[in-house]
Amino acid sequence: MTQVDTGEFAEFYSTHFHRIAGQLSAYLDDHAEAQDLTQEAFCRALDHWNKVSAYGDAAGWVRRVAWNLATSRLRHLQVAMRHLKRERIEHVEGPGPERVALSRALATLPPNHRLAVVLHHLAHLSTAEIAEQQGVAEGTVRSWLSRGRSQLAEYFVEKQAPVWERATASAIQAPGVAQTVAGVRKRRNARRAAVAAIVLALLVIPLAIALRQDAKVPPVIGPTSAPVNPTPTPSATVHPLSPESRTLPSHGRAFAEQPRLYFLGSNNIWALFVSCVANVRQELACQYALDYTTDRGLSWRNIKLPALKGSIVDLYIFNQQVFAVHDLTPPKTYYLTTNGGATYTSQATPPTQSLYALLGEYYTLCPGATGFESAKVECANAKLYRAGAGEVTTSLPVHDGTTRVINGGDGRLWLASQSPNLYRSQDKARTWQEVDLPIGVQVGDDPSEVRLSPDGKELWMPAKGNLIKLVGATWTTMGVPDFATVTGWMPIGDGTVVLLRPHAASYYRDGVETPIGVADPSGVQVLSDGTIVLRISPGYVIGTGAGQQREWILIEP
């Protein structure tokens, strides 16, 4: 290894270790393993520090290496390595009371809520960054975060950063550079031995089974303990869906990760592939591909992309011919095409078409904001805009930085912010009327929790530990059972909402919860035409139709 500035690396290490280890801890649910892999990534950076330090985003390079290590570990050695760790005797200092309190509090949260809280407050990621990382809408992340905070209230009286800093300051400590290098080298040798042991075990197991068969003794296969009943108990028998299967386009083994899908409707689906690996010089090299289908995945067409550089790329689709590709690597360039990808023009500011795709026809922005900031922009004089027409001169009843316009499928507009009130316009924002809320109910901290059915006739929002619904001038409390265990929800119309719980999805209407038959969904989206999109691993389950009568397809690699 060439001579490096150890002081510079030590400062870089102490600055970024906490954040990266926090992300991996949420991903792996294993604090010690997260520290091991983060130290390994930093050790690789140290091996090539003269080159890595010259990158525009050295921390991003280390983070990508760490995530690649974590993904590889889960795929290949997770079970075996955890077993080996349990066999190894280590003497370590016990966790302090703050760490214990934090761990107990986080353990009470559903998985998605816990992930959002840890990544936002512990790893210091913005909601946009978490959404990009998890492949869900930013509003979904905000919902997870808001509910996670609420459920942690009994542990932390104040929910803002100072309390979290005190509670998490000792949760993930960065060991010294010298200690890290020595530890990583020791673990590398141990893992080589572990791999050899696993290979040996794989060779021995078939032999043992063969010997048992020769002895007419059947091998023991299956669980050794009684299965655990799910909680809460489903309200009806679960019949797994048998959706028609469609296959995502393939671009070779280089694109091993699942693409991000964008939906313009039930038929029109776009797939963006981004694959980044560290080459032999430990430089991050990325490949990209973009495909779309207009027949629900029966056939796919490839679209030419501009010359991209970054590991984080997003797509904003106005229609089949007009869309923008956003390369988030500084200087964060937007590439706009108006001819289906035949040619692109680059610009530093987001095109109007991108704003429409992201925020809708009507939207609010703080002065100087673009709408694509990675963190919330605070202001006291947000302005109302209409895509393609510019600023709307009508005065808004509330205009702080949290103000959000919700565009209804019936043409009505709704205005929500962190103020207690809710407003509605039935004349394209020329006038606004305050909506009467039930006694004791207010919009609260997260305006993204106010949601409309696709036809715009029903407004839903959480209140008093459950969901409430507005139709016309009448509010109804929905009475969802065990609402605290719900990790996601979206209204689909006709008084029905799709609920996600930790291991299942269901419809809920008029007090009856009906399982959909999809296991372990991680996200739900309802398109403007009423199509339900459930994210699973790997792939997406898509339900077309109305109400609870749906035709389902599965799009998977």
Q: Tokens representing 320?
A: 């089949």
Task: Judge contact between 239 and 517, C-beta under 8 A.
Answer: yes
Tens digit of each residue's pLDDT, the chain (557 residues): 445 566 777 778 878 887 788 777 766 767 777 888 888 888 888 877 877 777 667 887 888 788 777 776 665 544 444 444 444 444 445 555 555 566 667 767 776 777 777 777 766 677 777 776 666 777 677 777 777 776 675 444 433 344 444 444 444 445 555 565 556 555 555 554 444 443 334 433 343 334 334 433 333 222 322 333 333 434 445 567 788 899 888 887 777 677 889 998 889 999 999 888 776 666 777 889 999 999 999 999 999 999 998 778 889 998 889 999 999 888 889 999 999 999 999 998 888 877 777 788 898 888 888 777 655 667 778 889 888 788 888 888 887 767 889 999 999 999 988 778 899 999 999 999 999 988 888 876 667 789 999 999 999 999 888 999 999 999 999 999 999 889 899 999 999 999 999 889 999 999 999 999 888 888 899 999 999 999 988 789 999 998 898 999 999 87
End-to-end CA gap in the chain = 41
Distances (CA, A) of 260 to 139, 270, 274: 17, 8, 9
Domains of the chain: residue spans and CATH: 6-189 (no CATH), 243-354 (no CATH), 360-449 (no CATH), 457-557 (2.40.10)
The pLDDT assigned to 162 comes to: 45
Burial 233-270 (b: 16+ CB within 10 A, else e): eeeeebeebebeebebbebeeebeebbebbbbebbbbb
The pLDDT assigned to 132 comes to: 65
The pLDDT assigned to 19 comes to: 78
Distances (CA, A) of 218 to 50, 202, 208, 209, 213: 59, 19, 11, 8, 6
pTM: 0.59
Distances (CA, A) of 201 to 79, 80, 262: 13, 10, 44
What is the spatial distance between Cα 66 and Cα 44, in angstroms, rounded to a whole number? 10
Amino acid type, 344: Y
Max Cα–Cα distance, the chain, nearest Å: 87
Task: Judge contact between 527 and 268, C-beta under 8 A.
Answer: no
- Peptide bond before residue 162 is cis, with ω within 30 degrees of 0: no
Q: What percent of the chain has pLDDT over 90?
A: 29
The pLDDT assigned to 468 comes to: 93
Q: How many residues does the chain have?
A: 557
DSSP secondary structure letters along 194-205: HHHHHHHHHHHH
The pLDDT tens digits of the residues spanning 280-331 come to: 666 777 889 999 999 999 999 999 999 998 778 889 998 889 999 999 888 8
Checking 363-366 for CB contacts under 8 A at 24+ apart, the result is 363/387, 363/405, 364/396, 364/399, 364/403, 364/404, 364/405, 366/401
Element (H, E) at 26: helix 6-28
The pLDDT assigned to 480 comes to: 94
Checking 155-158 for CB contacts under 8 A at 24+ apart, the result is 155/101, 155/102, 155/104, 155/105, 156/105
The pLDDT assigned to 175 comes to: 57
286: phi then psi, degrees, rounded to nearest 5:
-120, 150
The pLDDT assigned to 498 comes to: 96
